[in-house]
Each structure stands twice: as C-alpha cells, then as structure tokens.
Amino acid sequence: MTQPWDPDRYLTYADERARPFVELLSRVGADAPATVVDLGCGPGNLTSLLADRWPGAAMTGIDSSPAMVERARANETRIEWRVGDVRDWAAERGSVDVVVSNATLQWVPGHLELLPRLAAKAAGWLAFQVPGNFAEPSHALREELAAEEPYREHTRGLERPDSHDPATYLEVLAAEGFDVDAWETTYLHVLEGEDAVFDWISGTSLLPTRAALPADLFERFAEELRQRLRDAYPARAGKVVLPFRRIFVVARNKQGRVA
C-alpha cells in the first residue's frame, strides 16, 4: 500500500483486531523456537505477545509502513523492527522457526502464489489470518460509491484486498509438505455509535480511497459513504453489530527442512 497508515486510527479497535491474532497463536504448537518473524507487524502491539510467549527467541517484526514501524520501535525494545515488503522478505536466504502474519496477506497481490515461498522460509510453523468479508456491505458499498461520478476517475485501478477460502490455503500448503489446520470464524463485533463501521474501515480498507481522492472530494465521498453504511448497519440503542468473517491457517512443516 502506498498510502500512509495511521497507527492511532488503526488502534481505535485494538481489542477487536487483537482477538483473531490471539486465537491464531493459540493453535501454534512451537515450544521454544529460536527465531520468529511477524510479517505485517503494524504498530507492534501484537508482536509483543509473541515476545511474551517465546522470550528466548530472536524476534523480528516487518511492516511496509514506516509510521507503523516507528510506533513499534518506540513502544517495544525486545524486538528487531524493520521496514520491508513481504515479497522481498520471502526472497531472502535462510529460514526461521515460526512465521506469523496477521491481516496482511490480503493486501499482497497474488499472495496465493507467494505462499510456497513463505512456506520454504518456515522451518517449523507458518500461521496467518486474513479477512474473508470482502463481499460484505462494509467493502461493497465503498467500491460501489468509488465507481460513481465524480470519484471514479480518481479511484480507477485502486488496490483491492482479497483472500481465499480455507480449503484453498490448505491445498496449497499441504502440497508443500505441511500438516495444515485451516478454519474460518465470523465475529459479531458490537461497536459504539452509528458511524462505527465507517470508523472501523477508516483505519484499513478505506485508506487507498482516501489517498486517491483530493481532500475536498474525499469529504464528500465520506459523508455519502457514512449514510450508506448507516442504512446497511442500523444502530440500535447506540450500538452497531459488524459481522466480520476471518480465515485462519496454521501449518506445521512435517519435513522439518531448512531453506
């Protein structure tokens, strides 16, 4: 993503965004890995949980956003933080015991084809989680509005996050010699305020659109999108329910090879 990430905005729903990571991590059976990498570490708050669980491991957090990495460095000194791209890291030499990626691969075009390269880097475990809710109104309404005038001349060709079903990930990683545990969960996030869904996507999927539109045009876009989201997710007693499907994969390298 070329648009700037805002750590503060992203962390607005830190608890809700952390829950899938914790549930993913609970299925990783590594006891005492020597090396652990978190791909797409964001502001580092969740990578710190990895350091808590495996305090003896050499821990690295990698993210493409300098702002996110700067926040992580300011808050956590036990971990080596790097600005970098998942695809570039997959091309580096060597392997690590545990590779973790939380809500990142959906932003990597063709990440299904990248998986074998990531698998080759995981000497022990590869675990990742991606959203699987791209057909929901929270995404569909944004895309529909962006395709309308006067926005579409600015938003044509924008990056679009995407993911696959659990069975697809299982098939790809099983072919690489992994024992694979893949599943999906739909969370029902109960959020405060009638514009809570707009606030949620403002920290993630709305960022490419925000970066593409001139400031005055984005304000017009945002107000229209807020109204459409209110209609799709009506508030009751000041609360909005946001269904959020997520895809989980935990894969163990049964061959134990080192790349």
Task: Say if residue 255's pLDDT is above 60.
Answer: yes
Asked whether the beta carbons of 60 and 76 are under 8 A apart, the reply is no
Residue 148 three-state SS: coil
206-246 residue pLDDT tens: 999 999 999 999 999 999 999 999 999 999 999 999 999 99
Task: Say if residue 257's pLDDT is above 50.
Answer: no
pLDDT band, residue 203 (cuts 50/70/90): confident
Q: What pLDDT score does 204 carry?
A: 87
37-52 residue pLDDT tens: 999 999 999 999 999 9
pLDDT band, residue 5 (cuts 50/70/90): low
156-176 residue pLDDT tens: 988 889 999 999 999 999 999
Residue 253 three-state SS: strand
Residue extents of the structural domains in the chain: 7-253
Task: Say if residue 132's pLDDT is above 60.
Answer: yes
Joined together, the tokens standing for residue 170 give 């299982």
Q: What pLDDT score does 258 carry?
A: 39
Q: What pLDDT score does 1 carry?
A: 41
pLDDT band, residue 179 (cuts 50/70/90): very high
Q: What is the DSSP letter of 11?
A: G
Task: Say if residue 199's pLDDT is above 90.
Answer: yes
Task: Say if residue 144's pLDDT is above 90.
Answer: yes
Sequence-distant (6+) residues with CB within 8 A of 258 are 95, 123
Residue range 45-67: mean pLDDT, rounded: 96
pLDDT band, residue 254 (cuts 50/70/90): confident
Task: Say if residue 3's pLDDT is above 60.
Answer: no
Give the homologous superfamily in CATH for domain 7-253: Vaccinia Virus protein VP39 (3.40.50.150)
Q: What pLDDT score does 259 carry?
A: 35
Asked whether the beta carbons of 78 and 50 are under 8 A apart, the reply is no
Q: Where are the alpha helices (DSSP H) in 91-212?
A: 111-121, 137-146, 152-155, 166-174, 196-202, 207-212
Q: What pLDDT score does 138 carry?
A: 96
Task: Say if residue 13's pLDDT is above 70.
Answer: no
Q: What is the mean pLDDT of the chain?
A: 93
Joined together, the tokens standing for residue 66 give 């300098």
Question: Residue type for 233, please?
Answer: Y
DSSP symbols for 41-106: -TTSTTHHHHHHH-TTSEEEEEES-HHHHHHHHHH-SSSEEEE--HHHHHTSSS-EEEEEEES-GG
